[in-house]
Amino acid sequence: MSDDTDTSPEVMLQFYKMLYPFPSIFTWLNHEHTPTKLFTHREFAFTLQGDVYLRYNSFNTAEDLKKQVCALNPTRFEIGPVYSAKPRDKKTVRPAAFTPQRRELVFDIDMTDYDGVRTCCSAADICSRCWGFIAAAVKVLQSALTEQFGFRHLLWVYSGRRGIHLWISDPEALDLTDDQRRALVSALTVVEGGKEMVKKVNVRTAKGLPPSLWGALETLRSTFGPLVLDDQDCFASQEGWETLLQLIPDRSVVETLRNKWSQDPERSSAQKWGELKDLIATKKVDVQPRLKEALEDVVLQYTYPRIDAEVSKHRNHLLKAPFCVHPKTGRVCVPLDPDDIDRFDPHGVPTVAQLLREVNSTSTSEGAGWEKTSLKPYVDLLDRHTTGILENVRMMKRNGETHYCSNVALT
């Protein structure tokens, strides 16, 4: 039986030569079919066997990139910002003349940040059950970033193991300064604090929950029951229910339920949550609002996106390229449709070994190698996404906007 986690140098070289969609990656980053500075002044970083790291590489065309990738045969490569000069010329230009100019707004959500709430897996492990936390994060961020911030070109990419990346390619996103990125990420950050901090949601003001979170809360209410109460059963153990009770600012409620649940610990999380809500409903009218707000904060704490803020704050941050292969799982980092995020199964993503078997089993040599494999729907998804970017560029040019015209590359 073949090993689907095989990412040996021989396997990776075959993948890069036969399957990696270099032209699609080029057009997605470049925003046009003819090379522009969005590609030629873009940094690529390679991780080689033995954890050798090569930064400040740049290329003029997709073919140039493919040639170098096949020559180096990296375990993975990352994409960085567009610089004021070509990154490969970094040593020949003054430091002041080499600065990051543009970069997609990127986000990284890692399942290990949910270890304090998920019960089915921990550390690097992931399954279709705890993927529900990632799915909830995608729904909330997709809505906030499109409806509140007006972004349109969002590409979600599975990280290959236990998380998901987001690339936003709108011109407004590319042009964000580091300060603006920090402000935007701050506005989207709700869950904060390490293991020692029990209450991790502290976003309320004297006027209550910020209006920007009303929509997220409604989305997450519908997720909380099936995911946190039923599937993960987060409050089944004593440690789980004690954490919940620490988030309730009423000593009498806490003591009543602690005694009740200690005497009958077999109650499900759904039963405990129902009893908590019922007990709050018996409290005086002037006390209830504060306790109901505490319940809302519990929903947010367990289900709101846990963003790795450092990834998003800086233009010069590098992020793994789509369609790279995760070295531990052998799975390809494939783009995802946010509308189908609930149906996504991380264990159903094709591995590089599987894809090579598929391409080797076909007799025809016509077309790109990936077209004959289960990688095709994922490359098609990226190409459809890029089509929207290209249409936006054409519209801007028709309207006389020179933003993109000024980025034409000079070889």
| Catalytically annotated residues | 43, 108, 110
Contact 242, 283 (CB under 8 A): no
DSSP result, 154-199: EEEEE-SSSEEEEEE--HHHHT--HHHHHHHHHHH--B---TT-S-
Q: How far apart are CA 119 and CA 231, in angstroms?
A: 9
Q: Which string of DSSP letters, residue by residue, matches 104-121?
A: -EEEEEEGGGGTTT-SS-
Task: Measure the CA–CA gap between 65 and 59, rounded to whole angstroms.
Answer: 6
> Distance between the two ends of the chain, CA-based, in angstroms?
49
Place of tokens 């070509």: 86
User: What is the side-by-side strand order in the sheet with 335-336?
Assistant: 105-110, 163-168, 154-158, 335-336
In the chain, the largest separation of any two C-alpha atoms, in whole Å, equals: 76
Query: Could you give the 3-state DSSP secondary structure of residue 34?
Result: coil
The answer to whether the beta carbons of residues 319 and 165 sit under 8 Å apart is yes
Strand pairing class (163-168; 154-158): antiparallel
| Structure tokens belonging to residue 369 | 């190698």
Long-range contacts of the stretch 150-155 (C-beta < 8 A, 24+): 151/105, 152/388, 152/392, 153/385, 153/388, 153/389, 153/392, 154/338, 155/28, 155/322, 155/335, 155/382, 155/385
Listed in sequence order, the DSSP H helices in 225-363 are 238-246, 251-263, 269-281, 288-303, 309-313, 352-360
Tokens of 257: 């339920």
The amino acid present at 156, given as its one-letter code, is: W
Q: How far apart are CA 42 and CA 64, in angstroms?
A: 13
What letter represents residue 313's amino acid?
K
113's tokens: 């940040």
Got the DSSP string for 136-164? HHHHHHHHIIIIIS----EEEEE-SSSEE
